[in-house]
Amino acid sequence: MTPETVATLIAEIDAGDPLDFAGLALDARGARLLMATHFCEIDRQLVELGLPADQRLEMMAAIAAHSMVENMLLHVSRLRSESEAADFRAWMRRHGIGGAGG
């Protein structure tokens, strides 16, 4: 696992669900490489601690899931504050949250 290979996988994921980097000082490639480098460093540290591959994978999955929860909370907060109620309800339905009535 290298930062470059992880960044390439992130780019493949981004192709299906692109992120908006407008107005940021960091471009998509730079952001992917930064996070990929961070994950590889965490993996290196876990190897140094003697964790086997299955435990490292579980730790990385937990880190990714935590980041996804944080991202969801930030996104929902932004939608609540910046979007119209109908847009927010539509987003919730698209992601399987809430009933058909909103």
Burial 4-22, CB ≥16 within 10 A → b, else e:
eebbeebeeeeeeeeeeee
Determine if the pTM surpasses 0.85.
no
Residues 21 and 41 occupy one common structural domain: yes
What confidence tens digit (pLDDT) does each residue in 3-53 have? 888 888 888 888 887 788 888 888 888 888 998 999 999 999 999 999 999
Please state, for a pLDDT cut of 70, what percent of the chain lies above it: 90
Structural domain for 93, as ranges: 52-102
Q: Do 59 and 100 reside in the same domain of the chain?
A: yes
Check whether residue 45 and residue 59 sit in a common domain. Answer: no
Whether 58 and 99 map to the same domain: the answer is yes
Residues 2 and 32 in one domain: yes
Q: Using CA atoms of 61, 67, 68, 72 in order, give the dihedral in degrees to the nearest 10.
A: 160
How far apart are alpha carbons 67 and 31 in whole angstroms?
Answer: 15
Question: Domain check: are 23 and 63 in the same one?
Answer: no
The total of structural domains in the chain comes to: 2
Given this model, what pLDDT does residue 101 score? 47
- Tell me: do 75 and 44 sit in the same domain: no
